[in-house]
Structures are given as structure tokens and as C-alpha cells.
Structure 1
Amino acid sequence: MDLTPLHRDGLTVVGYEEFISAQPETFDWPDLDEQSAAAMCYTSGTTGTPKGVAYSHRSTYLHSMAACAADGLRVGCDDRILAIVPMFHANAWGLVYAALMAGADLLMPDRFLQAEPLVRLIDAQKPTVAGAVPTIWNDVLNFVEANPSYDISSLGLVACGGSAVPVHLMEIFEEKYGVQVVQAWGMTETSPLATVARPPASLDTQERWRLRATQGRPVPGVELRIVGDAGNELPHDGEAVGELQVRGPWITGSYIGEEDDGEKFQDGWLRTGDVGRIDERSFVTLTDRTKDVIKSGGEWISSVELELLLAGHPDVLEASVIGVPDEKWQERPLAVIVVRDGREPTPAHLRDFLVGKVAKWWLPERWCFVSEVPKTSVGKFDKKRLRSLHAEGELAVVEI
């Protein structure tokens, strides 16, 4: 059979069916140690230097089982998976491996992760499951709202993580387009799936939405706890706030080529660097990263909670909040806002919107309006970059 490739515009094109027809029908699987490394990813470096995390064959298999489970992402043989998250981020191969385990179809969007090509792909190929960070789905929603001829209703489940998902975003997707956005939490170090926000069906609508706004509860195999500044384990009462720690069969126990002095790993527990609380149902609510929490006058202000509230304002497209130096209070919040087209909210208007929703001393005095919030390679807000821009005087800050 002639498999001569076509050369066009500097590209080599090979017919897929012709290519696979020339391959052997059997494969001699190697005899591998299940504890040996199968893959490695680096942490995103959002708050620090990227670190290498290795995944064993065993941990990858167990993680895939959790993704397929009923209390995980419920991946099944009838699904068609749209893998949007870049493969280099947080071992995003997890969803791909789950699809392979379940016998599901896979859709790979290549590098075309902007809203328009994604929506065209969803409309044409009808995926049932997808996953990406909230900024991607915010862009998708804005495109669909402006182009209502496209149909995205095939999506039965959108697993959304990387940062907190605004409730209003989940509500619009579900009520207007029939797409259920489910918040999940994890890290590069957790392979990445650790929690999924699936409230019990017996609860009323209001309570279910409250729990869906959390990062969820641990999938089977994962243990969570919160620890105070003194190293003491805190109660799961929905009120105590501390650092989230996690352990389990697919949670990493070390970084590649680095010694640890207890800063990240402690008696089998991974110190996540996330700050939050756990309620009596084991649902986790993350309020910040330890490096992003704003320490003002000896008290903590959650940048995440301020961001979620501001993102719920109809004039706001994106909102990111960072702590900036303050002579009197040590740090104060700076709200960085991207405004929706045709809207012109003032700092005073947005500040008034927050009144009554947070403590008075949380209200930002400093505001900055930008065309786009800097983002990392995977679409997270790059707060490291924002802090650097502020320190260099590159942000036009308005004080009220």
C-alpha cells in the first residue's frame, strides 16, 4: 500500500486509516513495575518555582478508576470526552486515561482553545463531557450568548477547576443551555482529581447550590484535613479555617530531585498551600492560597471570595484581587477588573455592590481597570505577574 505522505504548505499529511492499516494487529505489552514512573508534569508555578511531579503506573490506574466512578466524573463507555485542558497542566492526561479505561470517545481540539473554535467543535461533534478552567467557560458563554445559533446542549457534564467557579456562571449554563458545570478541585500533585462538588440529591435547591459553590468533597481514596498555624488539626465544622492537607494512593509524596524539610510533605500528608474550611458533610470551601491571602491589620481577607462576588456583577467580565502594600494596614486588596463591552462601572459603584456581602474592612479602596487580566499558560489568573506589574508602577490604580 502506498503511504507516501502529502507535502503541503510545509506540512506533512498522512492519511489516518492508511497509517493504521499498515500497523500490526497485536501489541506485546511490556512487563513493568507498577510502582515505576509512567509520566511527569511540572507544577504551574502560579505562586512559586515549578516543581516536577512523577506519576506511577499504579497511581495513574487508580486515579482513572476514581474519574470513572459515580462519585467522580462518571466517565462511561457512551461518553464522548472533549479534553480541553492542556496535557502539560496538572497531569490533564487523567481525563484521557479515564476515557481509555471506560471505552469512551475522545475529541482533541489541538491548540485551538479559543471560544469560537471550541464552540464550533462542540456544536459539530457533540461531546458529552469536558473539562477546563473557569476563564475558558466564561469565554465560551460570552461567545454562545453572542452567537445563539450554536448548540452546546450535548454537554452533560463540564468539570471545572483550577480556580473557584462563580455560581452565576454555573446557573446560566444550566438554566439556559442545559449544561451542568460541576466544580472539582485538584493539583498537579493530586494527579489531579481530589474532590468533586456533588451535593446529596435529598437536599433542597438552595442548599444544593450552596454546596455546588464549594470545591466539593473527596472522591473515594482521598483523605482531607485542615491544619492550623500551630500544626493542630482543626474540626470539620464549616467554620474553622486552616491549610488544606491531603493524602491518598495517587497523591505525590515528593518532588523530583528536591529535598523536603517538611515544608510541603508531613507524615504522608501533602501541604497544599490552599486555605479553607471543611463542613460536617466533608465539603471543602477554599478561601485562598496561603501566598495570596491578604493580611490586613492582623486579619485575613480572602481574595477568592472578593473575586467571586465581583465576577457576579453584570458589568464585570473578569475580576482578580491581589494584596498590595499599605503603610497603615500592612496589606490592602487591589481589585483588577475587566469590564464587559458597553459597560462603564465606577469603582464606587462596584464597591457599593460589595457592601453587606463582606465585612466592611474587606472593601477595596484600590481599583484598576484593564483590558485583560494576565493569565498563566493554562488560563489561571497570574497573580505573580499582577503583583509585579503593581510593584513596577505599570497598573493605573484608582483610590476611593
Structure 2
Amino acid sequence: MKAQLIDGFPSTPEKPKFDNLRMISGATEPPLAMMKGFAEFGADIIHAYGATETTPLVTTNLLKPSIAEWPQADRWELRKKQGLPLCGLDIKIMDPQGNEMPQDGVSVGEILVRGPWITRSYYNDPRSKDAFVDGYWRSGDIGYIDQNGYLKVSDRFKDIIKSGGEWISSIDLENAIMAHPPVIEAAVIGLEHPKWQERPLALVKIAEDQKESITQEDILQCIAPKFAKWQLPDQILFIDEIPKTSVGKFSKKDMRSMYKNFYLES
């Protein structure tokens, strides 16, 4: 969700001062527009990654001294990644055949983690057999590690879109769509397709005062430079509310159920 608080800051008579404030953002990648918005008022949003099984941190996104002088645009792109592993942890990327992938910023696979505070098994739970490999916990997240050692989570295994033998990241599409100013929320799901196995469908909530002026083409043109044409959603649906779980996360399970025949019947 885009931080609505940011939208009101520029118009307030007395601007807030967040100098030296650091905020940790976990779970889904924070929208770049939100990070830049808070930065204008002195706040620093630091992306982090972890899970219950990692109690809780695995990575934090802090700039290495060796890349602190990168161009500002490159540093902002880097800050979208989950970051560097904490001291004492080992992370690797594994393909479906169990092979470790190179740290080249391209090779994608499942993220595995091990270390002194990482769960080693589930108590009295048969899931342990498949969830742990050679002391590593299998996260169920898809991602890669770049040449500088920064982890990037592309998606959850269950949410990644498999289209024509290629993977499409729903998270990357969502964040690109939410960077468009009129967009309040965006969720992307993969739906069964008669030709391509799955194709992405975007569900988008638009700001109330701009609902009549935004079209599907506006959003596609906004995100097109960041994706190959075949990665773009086939359809964008504008809806009033995106289904959520009891804790406020996007409920992609409900979305897939609601729209499961969307491409099959069109």
C-alpha cells in the first residue's frame, strides 16, 4: 500500500521534520515513491527481510562503502533490494534440481538460509522433511543475489507467474504500477490461460478524484519501459477495494478464486 500520509505533507503549513529518523520496512518491497517521499523530509526507510523461522532478520539494506558514490538513481534502485545478510548467516539460491545458483544478479531460484538463529526443524511436523536441506531452511521465496552480495526477493513460489515457460514477478509489477501517482494500491496475480499456462491480471485501486481520468493504457505506458512486452498484464481491472487478509495483506488466494476463469472465458 502506498503511504497516504506522504501525500498530505507538501500541503501542510508546517513541514514535518524527520531528520535522522530510520524506519525498517519488512515483508513486501517498499514502493520507491514512498521511500523518496519520506526522504524529502529527512526520514530513511531501510528495507529488511526475514520470517518467523529466522527470528526475525536475514538481511538489511545498507550501502556498502564501495558503492556509496554510485549515481543517486543507481543507489535508489539498489535500495529496492532486500539487502545484505547479517553477520553469521549463510544464504544461497537453489534451482528446482537442487543446484546452487551463481551470485550474478540474474540467476533466479529459491532462497535458502542457515545460521545460529534460524529454525532447524518444525516440532513434530512432517513438513520438516521438505522444508530443510543440509541445515538450510527453504524460505519458499524466489530471488537472486547480485554481484555485490545484495539479495533481491522476486516473489513467493505460490505467487510467481509462470507464462510460456518464463517467470514473471508479481511483486515487480505491483511496485511499478504503484509508482504511478494516481494509484493507491495494486495487486497482480497469475491466472490460468489457454495458451500461455498463466498470464498476469492487475487489480488496481485509483485515487477517488482521478478515477474517471485514468485508463488501462495510461498504466501500461507508465510501466512499459521497465518490462518486456510479454511480461505486462494482459488486463488491468480498476476496483474499489483489493481483497485483504485479516492482518491487512493482499489476499491473493481470494483474488485467484474470484477471477480464476477470467482468461478462460474471455
Q: TM-score, normalised by structure 2?
A: 0.89
1:169 & 1:261 partners in 2: Cα distance? 38
User: What letter is aligned with 1:250?
Assistant: W
User: How do residues 203-282 of structure 1 correspond to structure 2 at under 5 angstroms?
Assistant: 203-204=69-70, 205-260=72-127, 262-282=129-149
Instruction: Indicate the structure whose relative CO is greater, using CA pairs within 8 Å and at least 6 residues apart.
Output: 2
The answer as to 2:164 corresponding to 1:297 is: yes
The answer to which of 164-173 and 366-375 deviates more is: 366-375
Partner residue of 2:236 out of 333, 349, 367: 367
1:335 & 1:378 partners in 2: Cα distance? 22
How many pairs does the alignment contain?
258
Residues 390 and 281 (structure 1 numbering): CA distance in 2 closer, same or farther, change over 3 Å?
A: same
1:390 & 1:277 partners in 2: Cα distance? 30
How much does 1:218 deviate?
Answer: 0.6
2:259 & 2:215 partners in 1: Cα distance? 20
2:193 & 2:48 partners in 1: Cα distance? 35
1:193 & 1:148 partners in 2: Cα distance? 39
- C-alpha root-mean-square deviation of aligned residues, in Å? 2.1
1:374 & 1:385 partners in 2: Cα distance? 7
How much does 1:224 deviate?
Answer: 0.6
1:187 counterpart residue number: 51
Partner residue of 2:190 out of 323, 332, 335: 323
User: How do residues 1-400 of structure 1 correspond to structure 2 at under 5 angstroms?
Assistant: 135=1, 138-142=3-7, 144=9, 149=14, 151=16, 153=18, 156-175=21-40, 177-201=41-65, 202-204=68-70, 205-260=72-127, 262-344=129-211, 345-391=214-260
1:195 & 1:210 partners in 2: Cα distance? 17
Give yes or no for contact 1:200–1:208 (8 Å, CA) kept in 2. no
How much does 1:146 deviate?
Answer: 6.4
1:144 & 1:379 partners in 2: Cα distance? 24
1:389 & 1:371 partners in 2: Cα distance? 15
User: What letter is aligned with 1:151?
Assistant: P
Give yes or no for contact 2:35–2:44 (8 Å, CA) kept in 1. yes
Residues 149 and 279 (structure 1 numbering): CA distance in 2 closer, same or farther, change over 3 Å?
A: same
Give yes or no for contact 2:142–2:155 (8 Å, CA) kept in 1. yes
Give yes or no for contact 1:162–1:380 (8 Å, CA) kept in 2. no
Give yes or no for contact 1:197–1:215 (8 Å, CA) kept in 2. yes
Question: Sequence identity, in percent?
Answer: 40
How much does 1:140 deviate?
Answer: 3.2
Give yes or no for contact 2:186–2:203 (8 Å, CA) kept in 1. yes
Q: For structure 2, list consecutive stretches of 5 or more residues without a partner in the other structure.
A: none
Q: TM-score, normalised by structure 1?
A: 0.61
Give yes or no for contact 2:177–2:183 (8 Å, CA) kept in 1. yes
Q: For structure 1, list consecutive stretches of 5 or more residues without a partner in the other structure.
A: 1-134, 394-398
Give yes or no for contact 1:216–1:285 (8 Å, CA) kept in 2. yes
User: If you compute each CA radius of gyration, which structure gives the higher value, 1 or 2?
Assistant: 1
**Cα deviations by residue, 1:351-386 (Å, 9 ceiling, x for unpaired):** 122223201101111221122222233332221121
**Cα deviations by residue, 1:264-309 (Å, 9 ceiling, x for unpaired):** 1111101111111101221011111111010111111111111111
How much does 1:144 deviate?
Answer: 4.3
